[in-house]
Structure 1
Amino acid sequence: MTATIEALRHITTGTITTMLLKKGIRRCWIAGAMPFGFSGKRIAGPAFTLRFVPVREDLATPESWSKPISTRGAIEEMPEGCVAIADAMGVSTAGIFGDILCMRMVKRGVAALVTDGVMRDKEGILKTGIPVWCNGVAAPASVNQLTFVGWNEPIACGDCAIFPGDIIVADDDGAVVVPQALADFVASEGAEHERLETWLVEEVEKGAKLPGLYPPNDENKKRYEDWKKRQG
């Protein structure tokens, strides 16, 4: 799986959605999760899921932060290289993580944080250097609108079903979930698709017309195969 994840780091999320479409997977782009104050990064890693539910005022309190089932407790269970992905129900009025929690994730070697919710302490989070994909920023803490209930269980995030161990890939176009059983297929077919698109861009730059080129007809498929041989 390590080699597969490394391969996925070199494949755009756009290509991944196309590869998954070939397998009938349409809900893989995590709605609302966009780069948080940066561009030009791509990450990939196994999903470590976190789940919030609507606020329950007797449970979602500042005191809950010290309980075993808490965001603090979850962070201490995150393995190195994982992508923490949080189902925040798309709530945009309470930030689920701030700078201190994000810094602890950095120290644990977490690859990135992805959520359909929002963050708080934007300036501090950016200073930690952890790549975050989210739906914006809000000053209030999570307990104002959400109750944290657990980790490493199936979640719904950004209209996608995500299971622990699925692979999350994220770049400037957002974040996608690759089902664990399809990861090898996406890595292999995606790499080939990226090579094809490199050639297609070169052809378009030369002035080639799109009909018969994109997608390629038999003649252009042969030209592409010849180009690959020349590339070595």
Structure 2
Amino acid sequence: MSLSSKRQKEILDTVSKLRVTDIRDGLDWIGLHHTGTVSPDIRPLWRTKAAGFATTCRHLPTQQTVPTMTPSDYTKWAYDYWYGEIFANDLAKQITENTFLVVDTCNTQTPAVGSMDSMIWAAMGARGVLTNGGTRDSDETLAQKAIPIWSRWIVQPMYQGRVEWGGSGMPVEIGGQPVRPGDLVVADGDGAIVVPIDVIDDVLTYAIQESENDKVVRGLLFDRLGIERDESCESKFDVPPHPNAMTAEKLASILETRKF
């Protein structure tokens, strides 16, 4: 199953008005309680939000031994041999403006993204990076904020002598969740979540339902607590009222009886 670029953009426009927690609710509402949520130890490099469709790749731990050589020979070995042959790839050709790059490093403490490639991928239009590996050059990467990143570690090494290119366009596992090419990836301060491509429409239907009701409740509680309403209380979708819609009367009863 694949989606046209136009349909992808429509979905991403909808998702831009939702939170990761809303997507989690949508998956629950269609019975997929154990699907989607990436392990919470994979965190954003900074508080941000991104969504896109998975372009997957894999880095494999190498079994090669780095030969003894002079530093000048090492330069040639690293760039001509490792990056020219062992890590050579055409990943850039697969990145589109709707891409969320998903990098499986097989849980090795090596970089999936650094300051330079993060800017390259951003310049190509990628929307975010999700990895079970690490972020390198994190001070610069954090300062430039070229592309949102969710990773497991902050790491130091380069790829050569550590991981080999393992291919792209295959199902991978990130933080306990399978990710297939074309799956929807949504990520924010609460972590990342993956929606299988074949259930996106149903998930969004119920994510919207629960999100809209949450906004109603937030507005009522803001009023009760004397907090000025903000954008988080504003409706984003024209949908029917929630089947269990909260009202001011219901909220007053809950607060008075302390039954929640």
TM-score (norm 1): 0.80
Shift of 1:57: 1.6
Query: Relative to structure 1, is the Cα distance of residues 200 and 98 closer, same or farther in structure 2, using a 3 angstrom cutoff?
Result: same
2:52 aligned partner: 45
Cα distance in 1 between the residues matched to 2:93 and 2:217: 46
Once structures 1 and 2 are overlaid, which stretch shifts more, 135-144 or 101-110? Answer: 135-144
1:47-105 deviation per Cα after TM superposition (whole angstroms, max 9, x unaligned): 0001122222269x83232238635x3134312220001112232x3222222211110
1:12 aligns with 2:19: yes
User: Considering only CA atoms, is the larger Rg found in Structure 1 or Structure 2?
Assistant: 2
Amino acid at match of 2:115: D
Cα distance in 2 between the residues matched to 1:161 and 1:11: 22
Helix, strand or coil for the counterpart of 1:67?
Answer: helix
Helix, strand or coil for the counterpart of 2:26?
Answer: helix
Shift of 1:28: 0.9
Give yes or no for contact 1:70–1:148 (8 Å, CA) kept in 2. Answer: yes
1:30 aligned partner: 38
1:97 aligned partner: 113
Helix, strand or coil for the counterpart of 2:130?
Answer: strand
Helix, strand or coil for the counterpart of 2:38?
Answer: coil
Give yes or no for contact 1:94–1:144 (8 Å, CA) kept in 2. Answer: no
Give yes or no for contact 1:99–1:125 (8 Å, CA) kept in 2. Answer: yes
TM-score (norm 2): 0.72
Query: Relative to structure 1, is the Cα distance of residues 69 and 107 closer, same or farther in structure 2, using a 3 angstrom cutoff?
Result: same
2:85 aligned partner: 67
1:184 aligns with 2:184: no
Shift of 1:198: 1.0
Cα distance in 1 between the residues matched to 2:44 and 2:245: 39
1:122 aligns with 2:138: yes
How many residues of Structure 1 are paired with residues of Structure 2 in the alignment?
A: 210
Give yes or no for contact 1:15–1:190 (8 Å, CA) kept in 2. Answer: yes
1:72-91 correspondence runs (5 A): 73-91=90-108
Helix, strand or coil for the counterpart of 1:53?
Answer: strand
Helix, strand or coil for the counterpart of 1:125?
Answer: helix
Give yes or no for contact 2:44–2:191 (8 Å, CA) kept in 1. Answer: yes
Helix, strand or coil for the counterpart of 1:79?
Answer: coil
Structure 1: gaps (5+ residues): 208-219, 225-232
Amino acid at match of 2:129: L
Runs of 4 or more, structure 1, over 4 Å off, are none
Query: Relative to structure 1, is the Cα distance of residues 182 and 149 closer, same or farther in structure 2, using a 3 angstrom cutoff?
Result: same
Give yes or no for contact 1:88–1:157 (8 Å, CA) kept in 2. Answer: no
2:158 aligned partner: 141
Query: Relative to structure 1, is the Cα distance of residues 109 and 147 closer, same or farther in structure 2, using a 3 angstrom cutoff?
Result: same
Amino acid at match of 1:94: T
Cα distance in 2 between the residues matched to 1:68 and 1:77: 19
CA RMSD in angstroms, aligned pairs only = 2.7
Helix, strand or coil for the counterpart of 2:112?
Answer: coil
2:122 aligned partner: 106
Once structures 1 and 2 are overlaid, which stretch shifts more, 133-142 or 50-59? Answer: 50-59
Shift of 1:109: 0.7
